[in-house]
Amino acid sequence: MLYKKKLPMFLFLLPGLVLMVLFLYLPFGENIIDSLYELQFLVKIPGQELHFIGMANYQKLLADEHFRTALFNTIKLMAFTVIFQLGIALLLAIFVSSLKRGHNFFRTVYFFPIVISSTAIGLLFKLFYNFNGGMLNQLLEMLGHEPVNWLSPELAFTMISIPVIWSYVGFYFVIFLTGINEVPQELYDASKVDGCLGWQQVYYIILPLMKNVIGTCLVLAVTGALKVFDLPWAIAPKGAPQGKTHFLGTFLYEQTFTIGNVDYGSAIAFVIVLIGVLAAQTINRIFTRLSKEEDSL
Amino acid sequence: MAVNNRRKRLSPGGMVIRTILSLWAVTTIFPFLWVVNNSFKPSEEVINTSFALPKELTLSNYTNAFKKQNLLKAYKNSLIISGTVMIVCMLFGAMVAFGMTRYCFRGKAVIHSLLFAGLMFPVYATIIPVFRNMAGLGLLNHPISVILPQAAGNLSFAAVVLMGFLKGLPLTFEESAYLEGAGAVRIFTAIILPLLRPSIATVAVFSFLWSYNDLLTQLIMIRKHSSLPVSALLLDISSKYGTDFGLMASCVTLIIIPVLIIYFILQKYIIKGLTAGAVKG
């Protein structure tokens, strides 16, 4: 019958899978092995003997103050992303869904920063934050205030997080809005009869029905925050000032490509993936438990 | 206040909602208008009066950007890299999705979870070994060194989106084609690909954009100045001439323009395809 022959199947699957094995799965395995050896060069030098150091890099991570800063910043960013990025997106989606018209307009406008490269957004915010004649300081000047050093050690983390969070609000907004619009109209009508209006509808109808969508978005947002690199690197490369704005991604890049600690960089990469998998698993577990509890009610 | 409020004619709540929504719209549009506006001014004017319209329209930032760097070459490099990544993702993605949804075989579940795991891998976790292999093959600075890892990285997304679409497609067309004597390859090219067009458009747009915007792979693989794609080159300009605000503004504008054109032509596919995958998935 149709689709019984196996030969065409291989033909269809092979090219894509080979590409992914060669450039995704194998390198990932190789990367884990790298982290167990002493490596100072990106490229293997002929005749060079590799020195096995086991878990030394991972022990070094635990003691490294800069790594701790980067890890702490990344975790802080993950929390901010969940609270602000998803929070604002959900709020905006609820607001827009209450309008009869203009859904398309808001979708187009809010989604817009996502297609712009983070490099461009980073450079743009660099112009905003500049001490001499940056946009923000011009505003302050107009209002008769002293200029502020926006990228000072105290402010830098916040000022870098703002564009990171702002730029992806539209992504989750679009997903949430679609989810809300898919809630059947009868539910609203029925709830209205029961005297459930406004925010009560949000709490009793929208949020429970969107549980899966929210779960997916949480995973995306948390793993997204974990991968951040371009934007901080464009605004404040090398964790400037004083390594205070390092995230795991920028720290890894600096260690590997400007300092040459390739093995150490590989260990960081593995830790990033590990945190990502753990976070995603935890979120998934919480949300499956939530829906199970609901089923048993 | 929330959903489907039918009696909202300028109720105070409705006004507040509209104001908030408009304010957010301002935050997404204004920065880009600001930067385009300032790209037509000399630097001193950007520093002093960045909110005003240019006193006189000057193109010097643009001529400067093009003179200092070979931007046309960079656009060409980007087009070669991202265009190829896009085509590979469209074609291989469709093929994998077709194989995965139409055939039954042992190990299918494993491949299925591998495809989904591929969505989770950050570039960092694979880029160092890939760099070493590319260097070993002498392919650094060659577009292929960026194309292959980017295509592999985006292929999971492509396959997952297209699988979602193919799963919902009834088999009737394919069965009748089979009865007419068409083989699997012919069914794929003559029936599946045309039916998949809207989803393939989504895949095309996203794989192009992600490749064009992905700075890390570009920075790592390409060290030769004349081979740099747009994003990497403009970052380079900004690190060298970061105090020339006018030039910076024109650089940002130049990175954004191709993307904006794509966005406004294809936004229907961008948003629809994305939500189809995410909400159901």
Percent of chain B, pLDDT > 70?
92
Note whether B81 contacts A: Cβ–Cβ < 8 A: no
Quote the tokens at residue B74: 């960079």
Q: Is any Cβ of chain B less than 8 angstroms from the Cβ of A25?
A: yes
Confidence check: pLDDT of B96 > 50: yes
* Inter-residue contact A35 to A263 (CB < 8 Å): yes
At residue A296, the pLDDT reads: 67
Q: Which residue has the higher pLDDT, A163 or A234?
A: A163
Spatial distance between the Cα atoms of A104 and A100, rounded to a whole number of angstroms:
11
Q: Find the mean pLDDT for residues B1-19.
A: 65
User: In chain B, positions 146-175, which contact chain A (CB-CB < 8 Å)?
Assistant: 148-149, 151-153, 155-156, 159, 171, 174-175
Tell how far CA B158 is from the center of its chain. Answer: 12
pLDDT at B281: 38
pLDDT at B120: 75
User: Which of A34-38, A136-140, B31-35, B135-139 shows the lowest mean pLDDT across its residues?
Assistant: A34-38
- Contact list in A for residue B188 (CB cut-off 8 A) is 12
Instruction: Report the SS3 class of residue A51.
Output: strand
Cα within 13 Å of Cα(B163), Cβ side: 22
The answer to whether A178 contacts B51, with C-beta atoms less than 8 Å apart, is no
The answer on pLDDT for A103 being more than 70 is yes
Q: Kindly report, residue by residue over B111-170, the tens digit of the pLDDT.
A: 988 888 887 788 888 988 999 899 989 999 999 999 999 999 999 989 988 888 888 788
- The stretch A92-108 carries a mean pLDDT of 89
pLDDT of the residue at A44: 67
Full-model pTM: 0.84
Helices assigned H by DSSP within chain A:
6-20, 26-34, 56-63, 65-80, 87-97, 103-115, 118-129, 135-142, 156-167, 169-181, 185-193, 199-201, 207-209, 211-227, 230-235, 248-253, 262-296
**Per-residue pLDDT at B280 exceeds 50:** no
A156: its two tokens: 């830098």
Tell me what the pLDDT averaged over chain A comes to. 86
Q: Residues with Cβ < 8 Å from A131, sequence gap 6 or more?
A: A137, A147, A149, A150, A151
Q: What is the mean pLDDT of residues A205-228?
A: 86
pLDDT digits (tens, 9 = 90+) for B38-61: 899 888 888 778 888 888 888 888
Asked whether the predicted pLDDT for residue B9 surpasses 80, the reply is: no
A250 contacts on B by Cβ (under 8 Å): none
Written as six digits, the tokens of B205 are 């747009």
The pLDDT, as a whole number, for residue B273 is 65
B21 to A111: CB separation less than 8 angstroms, yes or no: no
- Map residue A37 onto helix, strand or coil: strand
Asked if A131 has any chain B CB less than 8 Å from its own CB, the reply is no
Say yes or no to pLDDT of B181 above 80.
yes
Determine the average pLDDT of the residues in B189-194. 91
